[in-house]
Structure 1
Amino acid sequence: MPRWRFCLTGIILGVLSCHFLQLASAQMTDPFEVDALQAVRRALKDTGKNLNSWKKTDPCVSNWTGVICLMDPNDGFLHVQELRLLNMNLSGKLAPALGLFSQMTILNFMWNNLTGSIPKEIGNLITLKLLLLSGNQISGPLPDELGSLSNVTILNLDNNNISGPLPKNFANMTSARHFHLNNNSISGQIPPELSALPQLLHFLLDNNNLSGYLPQEFSRMPNLRILQFDNNNFEGVLGTADCKELFLI
């Protein structure tokens, strides 16, 4: 057989091998993310046995409860796009491994009984759009690293036991439309830098331990509609002359 036929045959076999490898990997979750999910599970307590399906082999293929996946054509693997674990009576803590999902867009642990603090590693989720942790018993300060979540549109951390200051680098969350941080124990001065958030519609900080002054800059935010600061320890009144549609409580 001529040499060129051997070369052509080798090329065809190589292409077919790559194709079959891609098909095979498309039927499995990225192994790196499988390990991360198992670390997340170890940090949780599931008294209601809602996560029994997490004992199955492949998270995406065998449809683990609350795990929503999407295939990435670039590497052929299924990747975790959403963790939808709201209202499952889960306790325990949020694992640092939650920061290992490179394509996650929604992280939802609302209305459980989680304790501990928010892992700073969540700030690595640069594709995240919704961070939903309302209605738990999460404590400790807000990690500065969350300020790296420039694609987050909704930050729901209300009804927890979060304490400490509000990080000024949250001003880097330029896609944010909803900041729901009410009913916590957040303290200190509201950083005026947060008034630079261009898309913010709702800013809820009522029922915290905030003090100092109310930054006048908030009255001039172009899209802000609801600014709720009651039941804190502020000095002075926020002017609303330049923000006629602002609903100030």
Structure 2
Amino acid sequence: MATATRSTKYRRQSDTDLSRMEIMEGAALCFEARGYSATSLDEVAARIASTKGRIYHHYASKAELFLDVYRTGMMMNFQAIEPILERDMPPIERLKAVLKAHVMCVIRTKAFQNVVGQGVDMLRHGTMPANEHAELRQLAQLRDTYSEHFSKVLEDAMAAGDIEFANIKIALNSVFMCINGPIVWFTPRKGQDQKEIEAVADECVLYAIRLLGYTGKTP
């Protein structure tokens, strides 16, 4: 099974180094709020109440930091769904579980997922220098691998007679529109009950599988 392993380029310190994750979390919030072009490393440093020098200890440039946030966002997605892919369960239950895991990850890591979306647009419009653009292409391949997991789960559910579609690409894009929706319109309130958040995820999953003609038990 393909996994979102971190490239050697980013292994400057152990993944247990919380300082580095703190930088990425602050950067993700800044990129989410202002976009890549309008965000400076000074703003990231202010967000985490630190210095720009601390950031440069880990990253040579804003572009490198952005790309690491992008890659980490994708790793979070893989980590959310891969355990489900290995379980022995009926295809439709695996589909529901994978879709819900993705939605919950999107909600939990919203700022990182917004950076992923920005990276997709930047690749499309060629707004990064050549070296970083090449890295964006590699990350796009990682997203393709992630999508392939969903394609397999959808195909298995259709083979079992639980859903129906004519074109896997259209089906996949329609499903992702539903399960990525919270990136745009949902942010949990401070202290919001976990059951309420999961109810949002369940509703997204329901819309997604209803699009595919599912008429059975709801999530």
TM-score (norm 1): 0.23
Greater relative CO (CA pairs within 8 A, separation 6+): 2
TM-score (norm 2): 0.26
* Higher Rg: 1
- In terms of fraction of residues, the more helix-rich structure is 2
